[in-house]
Amino acid sequence: MTTLLDPALIGPALSQPETVLGALDFAGVAVFAATGALAAAREKHDFVTFAFFAAVTGVGGGTLRDLLIDAPVFWVQDWRYIAVCLAGALAVWLVGAGAWRFRALLWLDAVGLGAYGVLGAAKAEAFGAPPLICIVMGALTACFGGIVRDLLAGQPSILLRREITVSAAILAATVYVLARASGLDHWPAAAIAAPAGFALRAGALVRGWSLPAFPGGLVRKG
């Protein structure tokens, strides 16, 4: 049987940047915060909106995860997460305009999907969730902030796009859960799973991969 992390230890494990999962946690927040700020940049908003978009996108998925698994909401316990979001917003603001912004958003999103797919699964595992729920929590952690970002920016939600996005987070979470079930420690499992999720999303960006669409549809008569 896979040994669960002690929930009493999950705070230090995920809030210290020098640990692997901690590094993924802060990196995921930073990356998603940057995508939120980039979405605000596309609409030419002011810096307050930049910061709001960055914070909502950066911590949105993790907030939903913590509420669902009955864990203390991570950014309320550690001010550094909001500081990272504000730093990401400031970085995007200072870099300024450029045609590269949309592509940057896509690639940063790809990094975040892999990292946060693993983080969500790892934290759910630490609080005793069964494997399938760990995978669901990984997907929610990685995708919910982006969904809120797109809604705020008036863009089509990632859930309504046929391109591979949510599937990349599911893959990262699934690989992590399977690696843990096979006996790997958290760090090697994360080192395999996060790149797997990123690679799937990268393939979608570079080669146009997508999942098969439903072959039929409703046909109206008359």
Section 82-99 average pLDDT: 85
Residue 88 has pLDDT above 80, yes or no: yes
Query: pLDDT band at residue 9, thresholds of 50, 70 and 90?
Result: very low
The number of angstroms, rounded, from the C-alpha of 186 to the middle of its chain's C-alpha atoms is 18
Say yes or no to pLDDT of 5 above 50: no
Q: What is the 3-state secondary structure of the chain? A: CCCCCCHHHHHHHHHCCCCHHHHHHHHHHHHHHHHHHHHHHHCCCCHHHHHHHHHHHHHHHHHHHHHHCCCCCHHHHCCHHHHHHHHHHHHHHHHCCCCCHHHHHHHHHHHHHHHHHHHHHHHHHHCCCCHHHHHHHHHHHHHHHHHHHHHHHCCCCHHHCCECCHHHHHHHHHHHHHHHHCCCCHHHHHHHHHHHHHHHHHHHHHHCCECCCCCCCCCCCC
Bigger pLDDT: 139 vs 12: 139
Per-residue pLDDT tens digits for 144-170: 988 888 888 888 776 666 677 889 999
State which of 24-28, 49-53, 111-115, 145-149 shows the largest mean pLDDT: 49-53
Structure confidence by residue, pLDDT tens digits, 198-221? 999 999 888 888 878 777 655 555
At 54, the pLDDT band (50, 70, 90 cuts) reads very high
**When comparing pLDDT for 159 and 51, which is higher?**
51
pLDDT level of residue 180 (50, 70, 90 thresholds)? very high
Higher pLDDT, 6 or 54: 54
Give the mean pLDDT of the chain: 83
pTM of the shown model: 0.82
